[in-house]
Structure 1
Amino acid sequence: MEFGVVLVVLGGFLIGGAWSIWKADHDTKGRTGPQVFFAAVLFVAAALATASGILRLV
């Protein structure tokens, strides 16, 4: 298995984690600041992993 495929799969898992954190809001308070920050960090990491995986496959 090529390393690019591993990076694309890792990016998919990170996007899933970001989506899970984003959807886990509190009923009355909504999303908290740290929750939004952590979801954004995971999304950026997922985008970087996916982009680098695609570039390694090309």
Structure 2
Amino acid sequence: MTSGVVLVVFGGFLLGGAWSIWKADHDTKGRTGPQVVFAVILLLAAVLATAAGVLRLI
């Protein structure tokens, strides 16, 4: 298994984590500030890992 495939899979894992945090909101308060920040950070990391993996596969 090449490092490109590992990075793409890891990017998908991070994307799933970002989605999980984004969907975990409080019933009355909605999403908190730290939840939004952490979800955005995970989303950016997922995009970077996936892009790096695709570029390594090319």
Equivalences for residues 8-27 of structure 1 within 5 A: 8-27=8-27
What code does the residue aligned with 2:41 have?
Answer: V
| Contiguous gaps of at least 5 residues in structure 2 | none
The count of residues paired between Structure 1 and Structure 2 equals 58
Give the Cα separation in 2 of the matches to 1:21 and 1:43: 10
Q: Secondary structure in 2 aligned to 1:29?
A: coil
| Contiguous gaps of at least 5 residues in structure 1 | none
Shift of 1:8: 0.0
Shift of 1:39: 0.1
Q: Give the corresponding residue for 2:48.
A: 48
Q: Percent same amino acid at aligned positions? A: 78
Equivalences for residues 31-46 of structure 1 within 5 A: 31-46=31-46
Q: Secondary structure in 2 aligned to 1:10?
A: helix
What is the RMSD computed on CA atoms of the aligned residues? 0.1
Give the Cα separation in 2 of the matches to 1:27 and 1:3: 41
Give the Cα separation in 1 of the matches to 2:55 and 2:3: 11
Runs of 4+ with >3 A deviation: none
